[in-house]
Structure formats: C-alpha cells, structure tokens
Amino acid sequence: MATITTSEPAVSPTKAAQFLKAPKKNLIDGKWLESASGERFSVYDPSTGATIAHVPDSGAEDIDHAVKAARRAFESGPWPKLSPSDRGRLIWKIGDLILENLEELAEIESLDNGKPVAVARVADIPLAADLFHYMAGWATKIEGNTIPISALPAGDAKFLAYTVREPVGVIGQIIPWNFPLLMAAWKLGPALATGNTVILKPAEQTPLSALRLGELLLEAGVPVGVVNVVTGFGETAGAALAAHHGVDKIAFTGSTEVGKLIVQSAAGNLKKVSLELGGKSPNVVFRDVSNLDAAIQGAANAIFFNHGQCCCAGSRLFAEKEIYDEVVAGVSDFAKKIKLGPGLHPETEMGPLVSQEQLDRVSGFLNSGVQEGARTMTGGQRVGDRGYFVQPTVLTNTNPEMRVVREEIFGPVVVAEPFDKVEELIPIANQSEYGLAAGVWTNDIAKAHRAAHQLRAGTIWINCYNVFDAALPFGGFKQSGWGREMGHDVLELYTETKAVVVAL
C-alpha cells in the first residue's frame, strides 16, 4: 500500500509565501489590473483543498483589453523595431531569470499543482528556462529562401523571387495545469522568438506561476503589451479569447473536447489553430529486452510520473506473454512503494491530483474499470479524505471495449495487457483515437525501428520514456492534435510565409 505522509510540509515555502501574500492581478498592457468586473476566484492547494490565493475572474472585457494591447504592441512601439539579435538576447534573459528564481518557482508550482517540489526543481523549472534559451537562438535564424522561378507566360523576363517568414500577429495561448510554467514556456518561447505578441490564459487550477513569470518578463524588459497574462475560467476568459476576431492564432493545450470547441470558435475569423491534446499511449515491452528491471521501472515511470497527469503518459502497457506476469508484478511493486504526500514535503514522490474535479473523474474511471470486469492488481482507491490523493493503480483483465482502455484517464492508472505476436500487437497498440506517443522496450534493433515506423504517434521512445528536449518536436497524430511544439518545427506555427517577386 502506498504510504501517505500526513505531516504538514517540512519545507517552509518562504519565497513562494511572499509571492502569495501580494494581491494577484492580470498583466495587461504592462500594468497589473483587477478584472473589469472586480470578481476574483480562489486558487487551492490540492494537498489540502485550502485556499492559497485569489486571482482575477476575467471575462470578455478583460480579454478584449488584452487583445487590443497586444495588437498595439505588434504594430507599433519598440517590439516590431527590435533587431533579431536584441529579441534573442531578451528571450535568453527570460531563461536566465527563471533559473535565478528557480527555488521560488518550484515552490509555487508545487503548492499550486501538487507535484513534488523535487520534481519541479529538476524538471519543470529548468526545462522552462531551457526552452527560452533554446528559442533565443532561433530569433536570428528565421530565414526564407531564394527561389529560381520560370514564370512561363512572362517570356524572357527575369525575376528575383524570395520568401520571408513573418510573425502571425496576435496570439492567444490557452494552457493546462499539469506543467503550468513549462507549458507557458513552450508557448511563449517560440511566439516571442518569431516576433508575435501574446495573450496567455493559464489554467484556472494553476494560474500562479504564469503571474510570477509575468513579473519576470517585465524584469527582463519585454515591452509593454507584448505578453499579457489574463487569469480566468475556460468557459469565460478562454472562450472569449478563442472567439476574438482580433486574435490571429490560438495555441491550445488541454482536453480533446475543448480542442474541438476551439476549432469551432476559430472559424469566426479563420484564425490559425494549433492543438496539443490528449493521449492513450501504448508502451510495449518485448521479452528480448536484456534489462527487464529497467523496462519495468521505465514502464512504471511512464504512467506514474506527474501522477499520470501527462498527455503522453504510457497508460496502455503491453507485455509479451512470457514476461507479462513479471512485468505486471514489477510495476505493481513499484506502485506500492511510491510515497504519496503534499508536494512541498521533501519525501513526497507523488502528490495529489490537481483538483476535486480530477479526483472525481479518475475515481469514476476506477469504478467503471471494476464494473466492466477489470482486475485491480494494486491501488484503485482514494487516499485519505483531505486533498485529492489517489493510489497508483495497475489494472489487468481488460479488453479494448472498456472505457479505462479507450479513454484518457489522466491519473496514475495503467491498464496492462499481454500479447503474443508483434503482428497482432501493432494494430491493437494503434487502436486508439489518439496518437501522441508510444514506448518500445527491446534489444532487437530491427524490431525497435520497425515498431517505431508502424506505431502511429508523434513521439516514439525506444528503451526510454518521457525524454523531452527543447530541440525535439512534440505533438500528435490523429485526435492528439494539430502541429508540433518545440524544435524548429514549432516556428511553422508562429510564422506566415510571404513570397516576394522582383522584376529585374
């Protein structure tokens, strides 16, 4: 049984506490403002359910204000005049400031989201900084082409033809709560590197690190109106941003359901849309893997990292039938040893789910699994009655019709199935409306690459899982989304190509 540490956080969140004490406001046009309505809503510590802050409950009026500020900043003032080199230096500085404030940001993130502070310290915060550092380099490398054209009807006339890549314009960015600061970085880094201006709407569950980032952006010298941070609910602030005719593009990460709503609202002015949505990623262990222990640990981390609240979680585990029992036992043992507790407790290995809503959602899946005949090898229950803790869970005896096999659970719950032959496995692994990621564990190099080719997903991890890098594109096939974030692929999402033809 997973143990819960019930004592209060041993780390005093000094820096985070100082930040939390100050009133929280929107960043619009370089100013910190209350919502137009004056309304605010509570932000909770998911390990207790206690209120830790209040933030503006923004609506259409606030969004409109921010969009107008972003438009002004896009068209006039210092931002469009900044040289690529200066823009790069500015973005680099944001990365530096994140590192300088790493401990505070890690505490804020841990308190707000519930994730272990130790994880935020080595993953969320440094990766966010690295994304800005990586994107800083691109500011000076947004290049077009010179194109030899024939222009047949023009006879002997000669032309110089070239392309330039220009910013898309005013970008609305709507992000989720599972990696709040990192998702803000994934979105802001490339948008700024390519010269756009932004309205960022953080998730209502976790708005705090985006507001702290807003302060750091001003400290770095990002000009007024270039980045606006507006807190609010999805149905109000988010929907207003997605529908606004002054917005040229929406970049969204979140549920597939809301992704589809965004596409519909974007139709109003045909704004560009990029989407990073859900997943139900297969993770496949072959019996020829030489280090089975590493594969078992990898399979456990693939699902339990960030409490399963990862769009790319390895939530469907497949093991070749000869090793299936050992893999299931190994992952279950791993699950039983995970220490649950508040994110700020130094010994915590897994924190609470982010909200009551997610606790209810995940509990609903656990119930439906059992009702449909799945067997719980370990876990399956809520832990305690305070906070939103759920036991790491391994389900077996499942079939492809079950909801726990088809739908994204977004909690620490894995379904494990045996397979006989690779030819049978691939179609089953691909049997999902999603296609975000997949894992393959084998020592047969040809088999590994064949599987990598056959699996329909945006990222394939071979003998590893959850390896991310600012230089590596990430995104989904099928209903896992549109477009790729990070790497140089993301620049496509934030630039328009213009062709220029000169008669010589």
What's the CA gap between 448 and 441, in Å, rounded?
Answer: 8
Tell me: does residue 278 bind ligand NAI (CB under 6 A).
Answer: yes
Tell me: does residue 127 bind ligand NAI (CB under 6 A).
Answer: no
What's the CA gap between 162 and 147, in Å, rounded?
Answer: 6
In whole angstroms, the minimum distance from the beta carbon of 438 to ligand NAI comes to 16
Where does this chain touch ligand NAI (CB under 6 A) — which range of 101-109, 271-279, 292-300, 334-342?
271-279
Q: Would you say 328 or 366 has its CB closer to ligand NAI?
A: 366
Q: Would you say 237 or 331 has its CB closer to ligand NAI?
A: 237
In whole angstroms, the minimum distance from the beta carbon of 213 to ligand NAI comes to 15
In whole angstroms, the minimum distance from the beta carbon of 130 to ligand NAI comes to 19
Backbone torsions φ then ψ of 406, nearest 5 degrees: -90, -35
Q: Would you say 13 or 351 has its CB closer to ligand NAI?
A: 351
Tell me: does residue 261 bind ligand NAI (CB under 6 A).
Answer: yes
Whole-Å CA distances, 386 to 48, 50, 364: 5, 10, 18
What's the CA gap between 248 and 77, in Å, rounded?
Answer: 19
Tell me: does residue 277 bind ligand NAI (CB under 6 A).
Answer: yes
Instruction: Tell which one of 107, 109, 408, 417 touches ligand NAI (CB under 6 A).
Output: 408
Where does this chain touch ligand NAI (CB under 6 A) — which range of 119-127, 142-150, 256-264, 342-350?
256-264
Q: Look at strands 159-167 and 50-56 and give their pairing.
A: unpaired
Where does this chain touch ligand NAI (CB under 6 A) — which range of 235-243, 387-395, 453-461, 485-493?
235-243
The answer to whether the beta carbons of residues 216 and 101 sit under 8 Å apart is: yes
For residues 190 to 229, the per-residue mask of contacts with ligand NAI, x marking binding by CB under 6 A and - elsewhere, is -----------x-xx-------------------------
Nearest to 205 by CA among 297, 109, 139, 87: 109
Q: Let me know how long the chain is.
A: 504
Q: Where do the DSSP E strands lie in 150-248?
A: 159-167, 170-174, 197-201, 227-229
Print burial letters for 307-325: b (CB count within 10 Å at least 16), e (below 16): bbbbbbbbbbbbbbeebbe
Tell me: does residue 311 bind ligand NAI (CB under 6 A).
Answer: yes
Instruction: Tell which one of 27, 136, 208, 242 touches ligand NAI (CB under 6 A).
Output: 242
Tell me: does residue 255 bind ligand NAI (CB under 6 A).
Answer: yes
Q: Say how many residues touch ligand NAI, by CB under 6 A.
A: 27
Query: Sign of torsion, CA 300 302 303 308?
Result: positive
For residues 156 to 175, the per-residue mask of contacts with ligand NAI, x marking binding by CB under 6 A and - elsewhere, is ------------------xx
Tell me: does residue 178 bind ligand NAI (CB under 6 A).
Answer: yes
In whole angstroms, the minimum distance from the beta carbon of 204 to ligand NAI comes to 5
The answer to whether the beta carbons of residues 211 and 181 sit under 8 Å apart is: no
The answer to whether the beta carbons of residues 314 and 299 sit under 8 Å apart is: yes
In whole angstroms, the minimum distance from the beta carbon of 403 to ligand NAI comes to 13
Tell me: does residue 235 bind ligand NAI (CB under 6 A).
Answer: yes
Instruction: Tell which one of 189, 195, 225, 254 touches ligand NAI (CB under 6 A).
Output: 254
Residues 320-359 interacting with ligand NAI (rule: CB under 6 A): none
In whole angstroms, the minimum distance from the beta carbon of 306 to ligand NAI comes to 10
Q: Would you say 279 or 380 has its CB closer to ligand NAI?
A: 279
Where does this chain touch ligand NAI (CB under 6 A) — which range of 35-43, 275-283, 393-401, 451-459?
275-283
What's the CA gap between 342 and 351, in Å, rounded?
Answer: 5
Q: Would you say 244 or 345 has its CB closer to ligand NAI?
A: 244
Encoded tokens for 191: 């948008």
In whole angstroms, the minimum distance from the beta carbon of 241 to ligand NAI comes to 7
Give the CA angle between residues 117, 122, 125 to the nearest 5°.
80
Q: Residue for token digits 């602030």?
A: 237
Instruction: Tell which one of 46, 167, 176, 380 touches ligand NAI (CB under 6 A).
Output: 176
What's the CA gap between 241 and 403, in Å, rounded?
Answer: 32
Tell me: does residue 361 bind ligand NAI (CB under 6 A).
Answer: yes
Encoded tokens for 256: 């597939």
What's the CA gap between 439 and 310, in Å, rounded?
Answer: 14
Catalytic residues: 276, 311
Q: Would you say 119 or 328 has its CB closer to ligand NAI?
A: 119
The answer to whether the beta carbons of residues 285 and 204 sit under 8 Å apart is: no
Contact partners, residue 153, CB within 8 Å, separation at least 6: none
Encoded tokens for 236: 């109000």
What's the CA gap between 106 and 209, in Å, rounded?
Answer: 9
Where does this chain touch ligand NAI (CB under 6 A) — which range of 58-66, 142-150, 253-261, 289-297?
253-261
What percent helix, strand, coil does the chain show, rounded to 5? 40, 20, 35
Chain contacts with ligand NAI (rule: CB under 6 A):
174-178, 201, 203-204, 233-235, 238-239, 242, 253-255, 258, 261-262, 276-278, 311, 361, 408, 410
